[in-house]
Structure 1
Amino acid sequence: MKNLYSLKLCLLFIFLSVFLYGQEDKKVNAKIENEIVENQIKLKAVVTNNTPIYKELNYLLVSIKKTSGGNLSNNQQSGKFSINPNEVKILSEININYEKNSALKAFLYIKDEETQKLITKDSLEINHDLFRRKVSKVEEDVVFELKGLTIDETKSKVGKDFYDLFYIQYSQQPDKSNSAITVSELPGRGTNGQINIQMDDKIVYSFMTNPSEDYLKDQVTNTFKYIKEFNAKKNLIKNEFIY
């Protein structure tokens, strides 16, 4: 009787494992594929929709290269895409010059188009030891290397004009935010749209579009104001947890 009970218990665990594995597999998966050919690394952002639902999503692919001399360079690609049930789709490809003793980190993020929530992500590291510093964690390295990252998701000429004005000033700032800044655009009524400034998946400022250059310059000033306030609040919260 005891052996029969143990057999039933084992069968139950096997059934639950198979069931949970099947449930876990039915989701959207992100994958960074890489191939080294001669003096280049080819990165390929691939997404697989294992669900029975058609989805509209956003992606962001970021690569950071560090040379043996300590120089950093980054490349980013982003965009909106749709994917059918059980479809595998190549979103983007990046070719990067690869020298001996250089290091590479790459990150792929997939977000829901409507909710902007992160669905899945993947990362890749080559020669990651070269990124290490004496008193830093890998996560802190990533934050440092992504410092000053801006993402352009505008759709109209007005939106692009604003992004260019903002980026020119932001790139000249000596102290940039540790958070990536996304400038996105939503369609509005008539010819007007809405520009959103996002940091850490939060909208810190938004305004309606207007082609006037003076208006856009005023919005750039306002954007810097709200970015500064967001960073100040973020640092205050962070310091509250330091004992």
Structure 2
Amino acid sequence: MLNLNCCGLVRKSQYPEFIKLISDHDIICLTETKTDNFDNINIPEYTFKFKNRKSHSRVKSGGIAFGYKNEMSKYIHIIETKSSLVLWAKISADFLQTDEDLVIGNVYIPPENSLYKITDALYELEQELLKLSVNFKYIMLVGDFNSRTGSDIDFSNIENSKHDIVSDSDLCYDYSNTLQELNMLSIRKSKDILKNTYGNALLDICKNNNLFILNGRVNGDKEGYFTCRSSSVVDYFYLLI
């Protein structure tokens, strides 16, 4: 699966190297597509679904696209919601050979200091997640969150709890053991040591919903490499456990 801020899909789709990058993946999650309802994106052997930003100016901005190989069409179902921040797609368990379907949310959240900032964007995203988690066991969030989380812990750590006594066994569940069972690092790494307001809010969402950051924790990115201009980590993979 490819997760990429393409910063203008119409222009990028004209470059052979971009098409080659797409062709190396079955599932494509793109953000900042800067497309509108009049754009015609034609990438051979792929189907793309779009959630375009409603623009009040001549300058296109934002936008999300979810793409997949045509041969996967019968296994993919787009889940329609009102949120402009996320495009949801369900991938059949038959294709994945899992016990249940996987739901992927492709996310783009405008920067917190942007003219396109959406009030309570992360709260809106959390509400979307909560609604879908009622019916789906496996949920993954990917995309550009414009949230800097440093390397702070993203789950409630029992050892650091301020409560001396916790009677509810659910509250005592040690997710660090679960991460180890999944061959993930308990403490994730990140090259980006800074945080912003969105990052703090996103960490709270993780702790409240058993949502775990995969960056800096899984094979392929155990160092938490920069995702934006070699200076920050704002693009993430999250998994609901």
Structure with the greater alpha carbon radius of gyration: 1
Higher helix fraction (1 or 2)? 1
Higher strand fraction (1 or 2)? 1
Fold shared per TM-score above 0.5: no
Structure possessing the higher relative contact order (Cα contacts under 8 Å, 6 or more residues apart): 2
TM-score, normalising length: structure 2: 0.25
